[in-house]
């Protein structure tokens, strides 16, 4: 007999000190651009962002009021964002105090508490890429798995290190073009570099129309 097991948390909500310790070791990076500073990014700043201890807002324009930053060598594109994501990985590599990296879009909704509970189940030592796992041409054996960027992508330091500084026999992950889909490119790199791609049902991307009309915002905040 088999059954679907609900996701569980390795740290209770009541353990505020434990959850805070995890968040202190986590960098949350938001991909955005000046086009969405006044609406999407403003919504992020007014909802879950104040609960994040270490927040990096990566844009094509610096806005002192919102706190956005332009990382070195980034190229802003209308789609794909591979260049921007690789710049975030490079930035994280220099921030050695952090154990985990969370990359989200500027229209991603999350619960910071549940994010910390999820991270508490994973080690900083065993490399991984975590999120809602999709498959591209996987049935035939020639495809690969990848984490869809809309629901957020999570890596630990070991995972970032493997992507950017793999063994000498393999080349580091790079972008064929600045507008290459970042999530799919990371999936291709993960397959080549044997980086485990892990699925979590707590992280997902759907269109607004896919939600039931009676679901309220507070219920959405209760999921990652």
- Strand segments, DSSP code E, in the chain are 26-31, 55-58, 68-69, 100-105, 129-131, 133-136, 144-147, 153-156, 197-199
Q: Is the pLDDT of residue 220 over 60?
A: no
Could you read off the pLDDT of 101-125 as tens digits, one per residue? 999 999 999 999 999 999 999 988 8
Q: Which of 6-10, 87-91, 209-213 has the lowest mean pLDDT?
A: 209-213
Q: What is residue 217's predicted lDDT score, i.e. its pLDDT?
A: 54
Could you read off the pLDDT of 79-96 as tens digits, one per residue? 888 999 999 999 999 999
Environment class of 109 (CB within 10 Å of its CB; exposed 0-12, middle 13-18, buried 19+): middle
Q: Do 56 and 30 form a contact (C-beta atoms < 8 A)?
A: yes
Helix residue ranges, H only, 31-181:
40-46, 82-94, 112-119, 157-164
Angle, to 10 degrees, between the axis of helix 82-94 and the axis of helix 157-164?
120
Residue with structure tokens 């229209």? 107
Q: Is the pLDDT of residue 146 over 50?
A: yes
Who wins on pLDDT, 138 or 201? 201
Q: What is residue 224's predicted lDDT score, i.e. its pLDDT?
A: 47
């Amino acid at each position: 007999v088999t059954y679907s097991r609900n996701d569980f948390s390795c740290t209770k909500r009541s353990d505020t000190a434990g959850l805070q310790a995890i968040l202190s070791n986590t960098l949350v990076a938001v991909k955005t651009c000046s086009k969405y500073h006044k609406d999407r990014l403003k919504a992020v700043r007014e909802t879950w962002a104040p609960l994040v201890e270490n927040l990096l807002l990566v844009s094509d324009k610096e806005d002192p009021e919102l706190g956005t930053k332009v990382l070195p060598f980034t190229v802003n594109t209308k789609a794909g964002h591979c260049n921007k994501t690789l710049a975030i990985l490079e930035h994280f590599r220099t921030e050695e105090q952090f154990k985990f990296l969370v990359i989200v879009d500027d229209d991603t909704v999350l619960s910071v508490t549940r994010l910390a509970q999820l991270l508490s189940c994973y080690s900083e030592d065993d490399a991984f890429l975590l999120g809602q796992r999709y498959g591209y041409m996987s049935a035939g054996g020639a495809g690969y798995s990848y984490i869809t960027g809309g629901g957020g992508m999570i890596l630990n330091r070991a995972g970032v290190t493997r992507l950017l500084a793999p063994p000498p026999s393999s080349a580091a992950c790079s972008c064929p073009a600045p507008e290459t889909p970042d999530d799919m490119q990371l999936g291709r790199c993960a397959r080549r570099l044997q980086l485990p791609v892990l699925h979590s049902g707590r992280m997902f991307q759907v269109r607004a129309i896919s939600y039931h009309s009676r679901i309220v915002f507070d219920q959405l905040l209760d999921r990652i």
